[in-house]
Amino acid sequence: MRNLVGIVAIALGLLACDSRAKASDPVKPERQSKELESCGATADCEGELHCFDQTCRRMSRSAVGDYYAALGATARAKGDFEAAVDAFNNALGQYDAEKIKLPPEIDCAYGSTLAAARAKMEFAERAAKALHRCVLAVPVASTLRTRAMMDLALLADNGLDPLALGKNGLADVYLTKGPGKPSTDKVNYTVVGTPALPAKIQAGLTAKLDETKAQLVACWQTYTDTSKKDTLTVTLNAKGVYVESDYEGEGGFAIKVDPSPGLAGPDAGADACVRPLVEAALKAAPRDGYNSKLVITIK
């Protein structure tokens, strides 16, 4: 994990001293350093930037926005990515409310945090845009740019199109290549019954579904391709109902699965793919009486 203390220090501008000493030969305006570029004195920096710790930095900051950025960095260090993203969102909102231009180092830390929470595709897309803003805003040879590129590389499995980063401006969408496909052994499924299935039926159902795992994964792959989601969930109601026979002692349990609900789009396709596999596994498992709502999750 990166040195988050260093990230916070950058984001909050924990600076040492303002090098205001004037050079004997003033720097020509066209050669003055831009924000976050190196300097020896404030005279080396363009516009209203000041030289702190040999780096040109702005003086206009939001104390509240910087607090939220620090809160986000702290939450990320604890592994609470949801809270970290929320805090950085507050930081960006505060800077916007005060009409102060967002410091690029905060945007870089925001993108890095979103990339760390990339398991959510929504966060992954936002990470790509924030990190691209970071790359465009910071010096080419800076540590911030190098770190942003490393974070962008983490988004390859989320479908990041690297050509989107070659533009001088921001792209509308970044994750256009589709998520990388994990191997079959990395895709898992669960079947949870409410109320729980009798133990022997749960064991038999799981054993039969294990035999058709490749088919379950194929259902998942089709679903993720069309829905752009990484988790497939199918719900069905199943019953083990005792059926009497005309012949004494020949009755037994029959398996009944309720019809598929009215679904549309990728969800309908997922239901049509997974439901027959589960129903067949139930019929092959030991029989007993039950009435349960089964939730099948594949991810």
pLDDT per position as a tens digit, 208-237: 999 999 899 989 988 888 888 889 999 999
Please say whether the dihedral angle defined by the alpha carbons of residues 136, 138, 141 and 144, taken in this order, is positive or negative: negative
Give the separation between CA 266 and CA 225, rounded to whole angstroms. Answer: 9
pLDDT averaged over the chain?
Answer: 86
Over residues 63-78, the mean pLDDT reads 95
Q: Are 23 and 113 in contact (CB under 8 A)?
A: no
Instruction: Determine whether 127 is exposed, middle or buried from the number of CB atoms within 10 Å of its CB (0-12, 13-18, 19+).
Output: buried
Residue 180 has pLDDT above 90, yes or no: no
β-sheet bridge partners, residue 239:
256, 291
Distance CA(287)–CA(289), nearest Å, equals 7
Share of the chain above pLDDT 90, in %: 60
What tokens does 195 get?
């109320």
Task: Reply yes or no on whether the pLDDT at 136 is more than 90.
Answer: yes
| Identity of the highest mean pLDDT range in 23-27, 96-100, 173-177 | 96-100
pLDDT over 90 (residue 246): no
* Phi, psi angle pair for 39, to nearest 5°: -155, 160
Instruction: State the pLDDT confidence band at 17, using cuts at 50, 70 and 90.
Output: very low
